[in-house]
Amino acid sequence: MKGWIKLNLQYIGQSNKKLQIFRARKWNKNLEKIFKKSVFNDSYQLIGTIFDLTGPVKNPFISIKLNSGQKINPSENLYVKL
Protein backbone atom coordinates (compact mmCIF):
# COMPACT_ATOMS: atom_id res chain seq x y z
CA MET A 1 0.00 0.00 0.00
CA LYS A 2 1.25 3.40 -0.92
CA GLY A 3 2.33 5.60 1.97
CA TRP A 4 2.65 2.71 4.47
CA ILE A 5 6.01 1.66 5.91
CA LYS A 6 6.35 -1.75 7.52
CA LEU A 7 8.62 -1.48 10.54
CA ASN A 8 11.18 -4.24 11.01
CA LEU A 9 11.41 -4.27 14.80
CA GLN A 10 12.45 -6.56 17.64
CA TYR A 11 10.43 -6.20 20.84
CA ILE A 12 12.59 -5.44 23.90
CA GLY A 13 10.03 -4.76 26.63
CA GLN A 14 8.21 -2.05 28.53
CA SER A 15 9.89 0.96 30.13
CA ASN A 16 9.05 2.32 33.57
CA LYS A 17 7.04 5.06 31.81
CA LYS A 18 4.79 2.42 30.19
CA LEU A 19 6.41 2.87 26.76
CA GLN A 20 6.92 -0.18 24.55
CA ILE A 21 10.58 -0.44 23.52
CA PHE A 22 11.74 -1.96 20.23
CA ARG A 23 15.08 -2.25 18.41
CA ALA A 24 15.20 -1.61 14.68
CA ARG A 25 16.50 -4.65 12.80
CA LYS A 26 17.00 -2.71 9.56
CA TRP A 27 17.28 1.03 9.38
CA ASN A 28 18.13 3.77 6.95
CA LYS A 29 18.31 7.51 7.47
CA ASN A 30 15.04 8.06 5.54
CA LEU A 31 13.12 6.30 8.33
CA GLU A 32 13.78 9.20 10.70
CA LYS A 33 10.58 10.77 9.33
CA ILE A 34 8.52 8.21 11.33
CA PHE A 35 9.21 10.23 14.51
CA LYS A 36 5.91 11.21 16.24
CA LYS A 37 3.84 9.32 13.61
CA SER A 38 0.91 7.02 14.36
CA VAL A 39 1.56 3.26 14.58
CA PHE A 40 -0.85 0.64 13.21
CA ASN A 41 -1.06 -3.16 13.57
CA ASP A 42 -1.64 -5.87 10.92
CA SER A 43 -5.32 -4.91 10.74
CA TYR A 44 -4.31 -1.27 10.16
CA GLN A 45 -5.91 -0.37 13.49
CA LEU A 46 -4.32 2.59 15.28
CA ILE A 47 -2.49 1.34 18.38
CA GLY A 48 -0.20 4.21 19.36
CA THR A 49 2.44 6.77 18.42
CA ILE A 50 6.21 6.74 17.94
CA PHE A 51 7.36 8.51 21.09
CA ASP A 52 11.14 8.59 20.62
CA LEU A 53 14.08 7.33 18.57
CA THR A 54 17.31 6.83 20.56
CA GLY A 55 20.57 4.97 20.48
CA PRO A 56 22.93 4.02 17.67
CA VAL A 57 22.32 5.52 14.24
CA LYS A 58 22.40 2.14 12.46
CA ASN A 59 20.01 0.27 14.80
CA PRO A 60 18.13 2.72 17.04
CA PHE A 61 15.72 1.94 19.81
CA ILE A 62 12.15 3.01 19.12
CA SER A 63 9.70 3.71 21.90
CA ILE A 64 5.97 3.55 21.21
CA LYS A 65 3.33 5.08 23.43
CA LEU A 66 0.22 2.92 23.19
CA ASN A 67 -3.26 4.41 23.12
CA SER A 68 -5.27 3.70 26.27
CA GLY A 69 -6.66 0.18 26.33
CA GLN A 70 -4.31 -1.07 23.59
CA LYS A 71 -1.98 -4.02 24.03
CA ILE A 72 1.01 -4.99 21.95
CA ASN A 73 1.56 -8.38 20.40
CA PRO A 74 5.37 -8.66 19.98
CA SER A 75 5.05 -10.96 16.96
CA GLU A 76 2.64 -8.66 15.11
CA ASN A 77 3.82 -6.48 12.23
CA LEU A 78 3.70 -2.75 12.85
CA TYR A 79 3.20 -0.03 10.24
CA VAL A 80 3.50 3.75 10.00
CA LYS A 81 1.58 5.83 7.50
CA LEU A 82 3.44 8.79 6.03
Q: Express each pLDDT in 1-47 by its tens digit.
A: 578 999 999 999 999 989 999 999 988 888 889 999 999 999 999 99
On whether residue 22 sits in a domain, the answer given is yes
Q: How many domains is the chain built from?
A: 1
Residue-range definition of the domain harbouring residue 60:
4-72
On whether residue 53 sits in a domain, the answer given is yes
Residue-wise pLDDT tens digits, 53-79: 999 888 999 999 999 989 889 889 999
pTM of the model: 0.89
Q: Are 51 and 11 in contact (CB under 8 A)?
A: no
- 3-class DSSP state of 34: helix
Q: What is the CATH number of the domain that holds 57?
A: 2.40.10.230
